[in-house]
Chains A and B, each alone.
Chain A
Protein backbone atom coordinates (compact mmCIF):
# COMPACT_ATOMS: atom_id res chain seq x y z
CA UNK A 1 0.00 0.00 0.00
CA UNK A 2 1.37 3.41 -0.83
CA UNK A 3 0.13 6.85 -1.59
CA UNK A 4 -3.50 7.66 -0.98
CA UNK A 5 -5.11 10.99 -1.69
CA UNK A 6 -8.35 11.93 0.02
CA UNK A 7 -11.40 11.90 -2.22
CA UNK A 8 -12.45 15.39 -1.23
CA UNK A 9 -8.94 16.63 -1.93
CA UNK A 10 -9.20 15.29 -5.47
CA UNK A 11 -12.43 17.15 -5.94
CA UNK A 12 -11.04 20.37 -4.51
CA UNK A 13 -8.12 20.37 -6.95
CA UNK A 14 -10.28 19.25 -9.87
CA UNK A 15 -9.96 22.48 -11.85
CA UNK A 16 -6.18 22.54 -11.93
CA UNK A 17 -5.65 18.79 -11.99
CA UNK A 18 -6.03 18.62 -15.76
CA UNK A 19 -3.43 21.24 -16.53
CA UNK A 20 -0.88 19.78 -18.94
CA UNK A 21 1.98 18.21 -17.05
CA UNK A 22 0.12 17.97 -13.76
CA UNK A 23 0.24 14.62 -11.97
CA UNK A 24 -2.04 13.32 -9.29
CA UNK A 25 1.07 12.95 -7.17
CA UNK A 26 1.57 16.73 -7.41
CA UNK A 27 -1.75 17.19 -5.61
CA UNK A 28 -0.60 14.70 -3.00
CA UNK A 29 2.69 16.52 -2.66
CA UNK A 30 1.02 19.91 -2.17
CA UNK A 31 -1.03 18.43 0.64
CA UNK A 32 1.95 16.60 2.13
CA UNK A 33 4.18 19.67 2.34
CA UNK A 34 1.33 21.65 3.87
CA UNK A 35 0.96 18.86 6.42
CA UNK A 36 4.65 19.02 7.29
CA UNK A 37 4.63 22.83 7.50
CA UNK A 38 1.45 22.96 9.54
CA UNK A 39 2.45 19.92 11.59
CA UNK A 40 -0.93 18.35 10.93
CA UNK A 41 -1.98 14.71 10.56
CA UNK A 42 -5.36 13.18 10.13
CA UNK A 43 -6.40 9.61 9.42
CA UNK A 44 -8.04 8.45 6.25
CA UNK A 45 -11.32 6.63 6.30
CA UNK A 46 -12.45 3.49 4.55
CA UNK A 47 -14.57 5.68 2.31
CA UNK A 48 -11.47 7.28 0.83
CA UNK A 49 -10.15 5.76 -2.34
CA UNK A 50 -7.35 3.22 -2.24
CA UNK A 51 -3.75 3.93 -3.29
CA UNK A 52 -3.48 5.68 -6.64
CA UNK A 53 0.21 4.97 -7.13
CA UNK A 54 2.71 2.71 -5.42
CA UNK A 55 5.95 4.48 -6.12
CA UNK A 56 7.32 7.98 -6.53
CA UNK A 57 6.67 9.11 -10.13
CA UNK A 58 9.54 10.07 -12.43
CA UNK A 59 9.63 13.83 -11.71
CA UNK A 60 10.03 12.99 -8.00
CA UNK A 61 12.67 10.32 -8.17
CA UNK A 62 15.50 12.69 -7.41
CA UNK A 63 13.96 14.22 -4.33
CA UNK A 64 12.16 11.19 -2.92
CA UNK A 65 14.82 10.75 -0.25
CA UNK A 66 14.16 14.30 0.92
CA UNK A 67 10.52 13.46 1.43
CA UNK A 68 11.50 10.35 3.39
CA UNK A 69 13.82 12.48 5.48
CA UNK A 70 11.02 15.01 5.96
CA UNK A 71 8.79 12.28 7.31
CA UNK A 72 11.42 11.01 9.71
CA UNK A 73 12.15 14.56 10.84
CA UNK A 74 8.48 15.35 11.43
CA UNK A 75 7.95 12.13 13.34
CA UNK A 76 11.03 12.59 15.51
CA UNK A 77 9.99 16.12 16.37
CA UNK A 78 6.61 14.83 17.29
CA UNK A 79 8.13 12.05 19.39
CA UNK A 80 10.83 14.04 21.14
CA UNK A 81 9.19 17.44 21.15
CA UNK A 82 12.53 19.09 20.43
CA UNK A 83 15.76 18.60 18.56
CA UNK A 84 17.58 15.27 18.71
CA UNK A 85 20.20 14.75 21.42
CA UNK A 86 22.70 12.04 22.24
CA UNK A 87 20.55 9.88 24.45
CA UNK A 88 17.91 9.60 21.77
CA UNK A 89 19.76 6.97 19.81
CA UNK A 90 17.46 4.06 20.64
CA UNK A 91 14.34 6.12 19.90
CA UNK A 92 15.76 7.34 16.62
CA UNK A 93 16.83 3.82 15.77
CA UNK A 94 13.38 2.51 16.49
CA UNK A 95 11.58 5.25 14.61
CA UNK A 96 13.77 4.80 11.54
CA UNK A 97 13.20 1.04 11.53
CA UNK A 98 9.51 1.66 11.93
CA UNK A 99 9.14 4.02 9.01
CA UNK A 100 11.53 2.52 6.48
CA UNK A 101 11.55 -0.82 4.75
CA UNK A 102 14.52 -2.08 2.85
CA UNK A 103 12.80 -4.67 0.74
CA UNK A 104 9.48 -5.18 -0.91
CA UNK A 105 8.94 -1.63 -2.11
CA UNK A 106 10.67 0.92 -4.26
CA UNK A 107 9.57 3.76 -2.04
CA UNK A 108 11.56 2.38 0.90
CA UNK A 109 8.61 3.13 3.08
CA UNK A 110 7.22 0.45 5.34
CA UNK A 111 3.46 0.01 5.59
CA UNK A 112 3.51 2.06 8.75
CA UNK A 113 5.64 4.69 7.03
CA UNK A 114 3.29 4.95 4.07
CA UNK A 115 0.31 5.21 6.35
CA UNK A 116 1.97 8.00 8.32
CA UNK A 117 2.86 9.90 5.19
CA UNK A 118 -0.73 9.63 3.97
CA UNK A 119 -1.88 11.04 7.28
CA UNK A 120 0.31 14.11 6.83
CA UNK A 121 -1.09 14.56 3.35
CA UNK A 122 -4.62 14.25 4.71
CA UNK A 123 -3.97 16.73 7.50
CA UNK A 124 -2.23 19.05 5.04
CA UNK A 125 -5.32 19.13 2.88
CA UNK A 126 -7.37 20.25 5.87
CA UNK A 127 -4.86 23.08 6.37
CA UNK A 128 -5.08 24.21 2.73
CA UNK A 129 -8.86 24.32 2.82
CA UNK A 130 -8.71 26.41 5.97
CA UNK A 131 -6.21 28.84 4.51
CA UNK A 132 -7.51 29.24 0.96
CA UNK A 133 -11.09 30.37 0.81
CA UNK A 134 -11.76 29.16 -2.69
CA UNK A 135 -10.85 25.99 -4.53
CA UNK A 136 -7.96 26.60 -6.95
CA UNK A 137 -9.14 27.71 -10.37
CA UNK A 138 -5.93 28.31 -12.25
CA UNK A 139 -2.51 26.78 -11.68
CA UNK A 140 -0.61 30.02 -12.15
CA UNK A 141 -2.52 31.75 -9.37
CA UNK A 142 -2.58 28.70 -7.16
CA UNK A 143 1.20 28.26 -7.08
CA UNK A 144 1.67 31.74 -5.73
CA UNK A 145 -1.11 31.45 -3.18
CA UNK A 146 0.26 28.07 -2.13
CA UNK A 147 3.79 29.40 -1.63
CA UNK A 148 2.35 32.12 0.60
CA UNK A 149 0.43 29.58 2.69
CA UNK A 150 3.60 27.58 3.28
CA UNK A 151 5.50 30.72 4.23
CA UNK A 152 2.75 31.74 6.65
CA UNK A 153 2.71 28.29 8.24
CA UNK A 154 6.46 28.39 8.71
CA UNK A 155 6.31 31.80 10.30
CA UNK A 156 3.66 30.63 12.73
CA UNK A 157 5.67 27.56 13.63
CA UNK A 158 8.80 29.63 14.18
CA UNK A 159 6.92 32.04 16.38
CA UNK A 160 5.37 29.24 18.40
CA UNK A 161 8.78 27.73 19.00
CA UNK A 162 10.24 31.06 20.03
CA UNK A 163 7.43 31.66 22.49
CA UNK A 164 7.96 28.22 23.91
CA UNK A 165 11.68 28.79 24.36
CA UNK A 166 11.06 32.14 25.95
CA UNK A 167 8.55 30.72 28.38
CA UNK A 168 11.04 28.09 29.55
Chain B
Protein backbone atom coordinates (compact mmCIF):
# COMPACT_ATOMS: atom_id res chain seq x y z
CA UNK B 1 0.00 0.00 0.00
CA UNK B 2 1.55 3.28 -0.96
CA UNK B 3 1.44 6.27 1.33
CA UNK B 4 -2.01 7.79 1.67
CA UNK B 5 -2.64 10.75 -0.63
CA UNK B 6 -3.78 12.96 2.24
CA UNK B 7 -0.52 12.35 4.04
CA UNK B 8 1.45 13.16 0.92
CA UNK B 9 -0.53 16.35 0.38
CA UNK B 10 -0.06 17.37 4.01
CA UNK B 11 3.70 16.80 3.82
CA UNK B 12 4.00 18.81 0.64
CA UNK B 13 1.98 21.64 2.14
CA UNK B 14 4.05 21.61 5.32
CA UNK B 15 7.25 21.72 3.30
CA UNK B 16 6.09 24.67 1.26
CA UNK B 17 4.95 26.46 4.40
CA UNK B 18 8.34 25.95 5.96
CA UNK B 19 9.98 27.17 2.75
CA UNK B 20 11.65 23.87 2.15
CA UNK B 21 12.36 22.31 -1.24
CA UNK B 22 9.92 19.68 -2.51
CA UNK B 23 12.69 17.14 -2.12
CA UNK B 24 12.25 17.21 1.66
CA UNK B 25 8.60 16.16 1.43
CA UNK B 26 9.50 13.64 -1.23
CA UNK B 27 12.08 11.99 0.99
CA UNK B 28 9.78 11.85 3.98
CA UNK B 29 7.20 10.13 1.81
CA UNK B 30 9.83 7.67 0.59
CA UNK B 31 10.86 6.98 4.13
CA UNK B 32 7.27 6.14 5.06
CA UNK B 33 7.00 3.97 2.00
CA UNK B 34 10.20 2.09 2.81
CA UNK B 35 9.07 1.42 6.35
CA UNK B 36 5.74 0.21 5.02
CA UNK B 37 7.49 -2.26 2.77
CA UNK B 38 9.62 -3.39 5.65
CA UNK B 39 12.91 -2.38 4.06
CA UNK B 40 14.61 -1.23 7.21
CA UNK B 41 14.94 -4.53 8.93
CA UNK B 42 18.60 -4.33 8.07
CA UNK B 43 19.43 -2.10 10.94
CA UNK B 44 20.06 1.48 11.89
CA UNK B 45 22.96 2.28 9.54
CA UNK B 46 20.65 2.67 6.60
CA UNK B 47 18.42 4.93 8.57
CA UNK B 48 21.34 7.05 9.74
CA UNK B 49 22.42 7.61 6.17
CA UNK B 50 18.87 8.37 5.15
CA UNK B 51 18.56 11.00 7.87
CA UNK B 52 21.94 12.51 6.96
CA UNK B 53 20.85 12.78 3.30
CA UNK B 54 17.51 14.21 4.32
CA UNK B 55 19.17 16.89 6.46
CA UNK B 56 21.33 17.80 3.50
CA UNK B 57 18.16 18.81 1.67
CA UNK B 58 16.88 20.99 4.48
CA UNK B 59 17.48 24.67 3.91
CA UNK B 60 18.08 26.85 6.93
CA UNK B 61 16.56 30.31 6.85
CA UNK B 62 18.78 33.37 6.49
CA UNK B 63 19.16 35.87 9.23
CA UNK B 64 19.86 35.57 12.90
CA UNK B 65 16.25 36.29 13.92
CA UNK B 66 14.90 33.39 11.91
CA UNK B 67 17.63 31.10 13.21
CA UNK B 68 16.90 32.16 16.75
CA UNK B 69 13.24 31.40 16.17
CA UNK B 70 14.20 27.84 15.43
CA UNK B 71 15.54 27.70 18.90
CA UNK B 72 18.53 26.11 20.50
CA UNK B 73 17.12 22.92 21.88
CA UNK B 74 20.42 21.37 22.73
CA UNK B 75 22.50 24.23 24.04
CA UNK B 76 24.63 23.18 26.97
* Touching chains A and B, CB distance < 8 Å: no
